[in-house]
Amino acid sequence: MPIRCTLNFRVSAFFLLVSTFLSCHSEGAESAVVTLDSIVIYKTHEWLAAKPTVYFHCQGGNRTTLPDVQKEHVLYSFNGEESWQPLTEFKSKKCKRCGFYEEDSIKSDDVFEEWEFCPSDFTAPAGKYVRFNPKEFNATFLCLKCTAYSNVTSTSSSTSSITDGGEKGMQSAIIIVISIVASVVLIIGMVVGYKYWQKKRRQQDQARFLKLFEDGDDIEDELGLSDVI
Ligand SMILES: *[C@@H]1O[C@H](CO)[C@@H](O)[C@H](O)[C@H]1NC(C)=O
Ligand SMILES: *[C@@H]1O[C@H](CO)[C@@H](O)[C@H](O)[C@H]1NC(C)=O
Ligand SMILES: *[C@@H]1O[C@H](CO)[C@@H](O)[C@H](O)[C@H]1NC(C)=O
């Protein structure tokens, strides 16, 4: 069983703190099949039928009817082994145009939502993806294998295979070194800047102080105080 490792690093812009952590998880016999974990529908579109027929469909694929999903605002949870599972399958990292629909007896079928369903949407470690449409539904999908397609940039945690792990580690190391150097330069810059500002201010104060005396000379002459100074 191969072990997958991910090097996560974060650079906080303000404090320029660099934290790294290594997370590993083992990869079992997974395939990029997508199962429906749960769904809530917020409304139905069919007026005549007592019970709606909700189905999932991807372009170029088979339609999958969800036999149990009939009531609004009810959470339907699935274990992934139902007769109609899995919903679909990803053969590459390419997205599919998929959606939830409702059969309509008169006109063309109603659309809950149709969207670009991408393997990179699934987040590690569980390979979960929540599709939430405030007016129509909230659905969670599972696809463990899909996390392999996740982008480093698109998700906070991502997986990298053993082959490109070295390259990623190298990149992380470079970024960490740059961050440290940048923090040091910034701190030195701030210290130097503060010292310079202090010096400048002292000079200005001195100049103002001297000017005060020069301006005061006339008065002092009159008062006969110039000898004292
Ligand atoms: C659609 O279903 C048929 C029969 O169940 C199956 O042979 C075919 O592979 C399926 N197509 C896809 C794209 O899943
Ligand atoms: C959608 O459903 C998931 C799983 O039931 C839940 O964790 C999440 O909070 C829901 N989101 C909204 C906005 O209801
Ligand atoms: C994922 O990465 C590929 C290149 O590796 C890039 O073309 C694509 O736009 C990225 N997708 C997202 C969602 O960041």
Contacts of 205 (CB under 8 A, 6+ apart): none
Tell me, what's the pLDDT at 75?
95
Domain annotation covers residue 182: no
Q: Cα angle vertex 25, ends 13, 23, to 5°?
A: 25
> CA-to-CA distance for 192 and 190, rounded, in angstroms?
6
> CA-to-CA distance for 12 and 196, rounded, in angstroms?
28
Which atom of ligand 1 has the smallest separation from the CA of 60? 13
Question: Does the Cβ of 116 fall within 6 Å of ligand 3?
Answer: no
CATH number at residue 66: 2.60.40
Domain count, the chain: 1
Question: Does the Cβ of 77 fall within 6 Å of ligand 3?
Answer: no
- Residue-wise pLDDT tens digits, 103-136: 988 888 899 999 999 999 998 888 899 999 999 9
Domain annotation covers residue 47: yes
Report CA dihedral (87, 92, 95, 98) to the nearest 10 degrees: -20
**Nearest alpha carbon, ligand 3 atom 9:** 151
> CA-to-CA distance for 222 and 160, rounded, in angstroms?
86
Ligand 3 pocket test target in 115, 151, 154 with most atoms within 8 Å of CB: 151
Question: Does the Cβ of 38 fall within 6 Å of ligand 2?
Answer: yes
Domain annotation covers residue 46: yes
Cα distance between the two ends of the chain: 90
CB 148 within 8 A of CB 164: no
Tell me, what's the pLDDT at 24?
45
3 state SS for 136-153: CEEEEEECCHHHHHCCCC
Residue 155 has pLDDT above 60, yes or no: no
CB 113 within 8 A of CB 136: yes
Domain annotation covers residue 186: no
Which atom of ligand 3 has the smallest separation from the CA of 120? 13
For the question of whether the overall pTM of this predicted structure is more than 0.95, the answer is no
Tell me, what's the pLDDT at 174?
92
Domain annotation covers residue 113: yes
Helix (H/G/I), strand (E/B), else coil: 170: helix
Report CA dihedral (148, 151, 155, 160) to the nearest 10 degrees: 50
Tell me, what's the pLDDT at 97?
95
Domain annotation covers residue 96: yes
- Residue-wise pLDDT tens digits, 43-84: 888 777 678 899 999 999 999 999 999 999 999 999 989 999
> CA-to-CA distance for 123 and 142, rounded, in angstroms?
9
Q: Whole domain around residue 96: which residue ranges?
A: 29-152
Domain annotation covers residue 226: no
